[in-house]
Structure 1
Amino acid sequence: MTTTAEHPHTHDRAPEHSPRLQLAKLAPEAYKVVLALEIASKKDLDPVLVELVKIRASQLNHCAFCIDMHTKDALAAGESVERIVQLSAWEESRHFYTERELAAIGLAEAVTVLTDGFVPDEVWERAAKQFEERELAQLVTVIATINVWNRFAVTTRMAPGHYTPGMYNTKG
């Protein structure tokens, strides 16, 4: 554990909470099905784009565990710290991202925050201009899957900070 002597600007941290339950152990069949969906959903998509989408959805869902995981995975895949930091304000930081990434991030946000209404036609059309139909189907599946993982992690209170890239092999 990092001490305050190593980081003089930090204070003693609050105690880490314990997970409510071990979902993977208690519902292994469901966990394995979502893991299979995870592997299938990423097929043929750019790994960095996938991580950006997962980080953004996880930010919206306040899923600290998944933010930690996918930030580390994005860094391991070659993403920059600057683009990850700017992701929470992507609409004001558009110049950091490609049109394709912006379309994917916008779609991720619209699909994740369905309480604001349905996915707007302009968001869908923008994504459809950037992705072939098969890619778009994969992207929708990635977004839906990260939302499942976010709900598992938030509900069971999985603690962030312990993930190492490659810890869970979901490359398929």
Structure 2
Amino acid sequence: MKIIADTDRLIIREFIFQDVDDLYRLESDPRVIEYIPGSKVLSLHECRREIKKYIYDYKTSNLGRWPVFLKSTNEFIGVTGFRHLSTIRKTEIGTKLIPDYWGNGYSTELGIAIINYGLTKLKINEIIAMTDPDNVKALKSLESLGMEFLKYGYYNGNRVVYYHVYK
């Protein structure tokens, strides 16, 4: 398994099949997806399928989703990564954390690391993020990453706010 990035407190690496229970713990919590446009709670079976897809994506694309672990304890705390949105021809960054780890600065710490990885290693020219306009914490988090407001709009029928950062 490949390490994507690390920070003072976090390790971001590729998924392996043994991560399915961790992913399920994250994806089955309705609080995690409350403000994510178009998301739904995933079953254990769907999480297995997602990990297979992520592993396949590692072989065919530079973009992907990666699990995040605390360096000190090796505890799984969430997922981050990129996906290409073909309908708008943009690369989106996304992060989901287990609620027990909210409010500790992890999202900002890993966001900075992943944006840097995307701009420098993957040579992405523009990275976007979108969230529900009512998700005040996410909006503050995006701004703390150095992302700038781009526009209000819709994605897959959901009202969203777009932020972006350039190389």
Higher share of residues assigned helix: 1
Q: Under TM normalisation by the shorter chain, which class is it?
A: under 0.3
Structure with more contact order per residue of length (Cα contacts < 8 Å, sep ≥ 6): 1
Answer 1 or 2: which has greater strand percent. 2
TM-score for both structures, normalised by structure 1: 0.24
